[in-house]
Amino acid sequence: MGGCWPPALSLLVGIVIGVHLLHSRNCEGGEVVLTTLPAQRRVPSDLTETRLKDGPAKALASPAYTTAPRRCAILVDRHVHKTGGTTMRDIMLENERRGEWLYWGYSLGRLTPVFDELRKLAVSGNTTHRIGLEYHHGFIPFSPNVVDQLRSLRATYHALDIDCRIVLVTRVREPLSFYISYFKWAAAWRQKKEPATFGRNFTEWAPPNLQSALMLNSMDHMWAEKGIGHKRRRKAFGGFDAHARRRLQDLLLHFDIVGTTERFDETLLLTAGMTGLQHLRYHVNNPTRNSKWKRGVADAEVCPDLDACRRHVERIAPYDVQLYAESTQRLDRLVHDAGKSFQRRLALFRAEEAEHRAQRQQMLRCRYWPVQPDRYNRSHHDCGHLAQKELCALVYANRELRCPWHRVAQ
């Protein structure tokens, strides 16, 4: 059958073996290609004027992009601290503001109701949605919990011959740069207050294999921000061994793109090619610089001797060094396979981005809101153009961010 199975058999096999499917195929041997249908927008109050009113995009937003908006796509961004994830969140929120995507993040709240609704919509054939899912940190582990839900949803789409692209993306950062950035964000200001607890300098504070440990277990960031003698800190980072390293390698096999912070634009453009994400121009969001009590620490203050700091990081974080080297090679292969046209589009995008950064940044003004599904009142929030109101309500109830374009005047 040329790789195409009957839906019932495909669903059974997919669920049993957990097929890693990037897209569906039809039984005539061709890839299923769907175009975006126009949708009407509803703006319920003056408070939602910050959301654009023209509905989902139907064409490319820039010549730098090659993939038109897809009818159905799910982008999963695994946001490790200090790797550009906050900037990526802003990009997803801007696409939501424009009425084209639905953002869900960043701890995801309850997984099961949302994924059950997605499978229900798939069975009914109602799959006109684009979801940008950010997993930053939370008590629900990314692996196996989120990975298993995505695997099951992929199998459902495949069995029902639905072309809904699920793309997993993450980024890693050059190890010394990662450590310095994390130190300035989480430790420098604490050291000034309590040097005996948090260490007297960068090298005394730095925990082993920090980036690898956080990629595998997001909540370990809590222990990186504890005192250097804290027992949970020693267990989380001192206990990251070869077995944990293999688990991390297995986890990263699920990802379509493992990019790098240093090559953010390339990673972003590859992501757009797989998902149809359109509005990519951004201003770098630096939480350390934006914080009154964390900013003002220069790299030279953290590491007066960068070579000495680099040798120290290479000594205490060998798995981080391997992770970055392997991820760079993996990204190199993706960029090479994209061909010369990708380099032309990348140059065009960077020119657009430089022009965009020269303009004054318009803040999205979304604010943190603890996930409290039982207290969520759907009548207070606007689902905009999205036809799947139940899906929208479930996502809103299980996300931390509330934005101006959500609120309905009472």
The tens digit of pLDDT for each residue in 248-259 reads: 999 999 999 999
* Residue 96 CA neighbour count, 13 Å, CB half: 28
43: confidence class by pLDDT, cuts 50, 70, 90: very low
Average pLDDT over residues 176-186: 94
Report if residue 242 sits inside a domain. no
* 66 or 186: which leads in pLDDT: 186
Report if residue 198 sits inside a domain. no
Q: Cis bond leading into 103, ω under 30°? A: no
Is the pLDDT at 402 greater than 90? The verdict is no
E strand or H helix at 170: strand 165-172
Report if residue 85 sits inside a domain. yes
Report if residue 204 sits inside a domain. no
Q: Which residues contact 180 (CB under 8 A, 6 or more apart)?
A: 202, 299, 302, 303, 309
348: confidence class by pLDDT, cuts 50, 70, 90: very high
DSSP 74: E
Q: What is the pLDDT of residue 298?
A: 83
Residue listed under structure tokens 């981005």: 353
Give the tens place of pLDDT for each residue, 299-335.
Answer: 888 999 999 999 999 999 999 999 999 999 999 999 9
Q: What is the pLDDT of residue 373?
A: 75
Q: Rounded to whole angstroms, what are the CA distances from 126 to 123, 363, 381, 391?
A: 8, 34, 22, 11
Whole-model pTM: value is 0.83
Report if residue 197 sits inside a domain. no
Report if residue 43 sits inside a domain. yes
Q: What is the number of structural domains in the chain?
A: 1
Q: Which residues contact 151 (CB under 8 A, 6 or more apart)?
A: 18, 19, 20
Compute the Cα dihedral for 340, 171, 87, 61 and give only its sign: positive
Is the pLDDT at 16 greater than 90? The verdict is no
Print the domain residue range for 26. 7-174+258-287+365-402
Report if residue 248 sits inside a domain. no
Report if residue 37 sits inside a domain. yes
Q: Which residues contact 138 (CB under 8 A, 6 or more apart)?
A: 106, 107, 108, 109, 218, 219
| Tokens linked to 359 | 């303009």
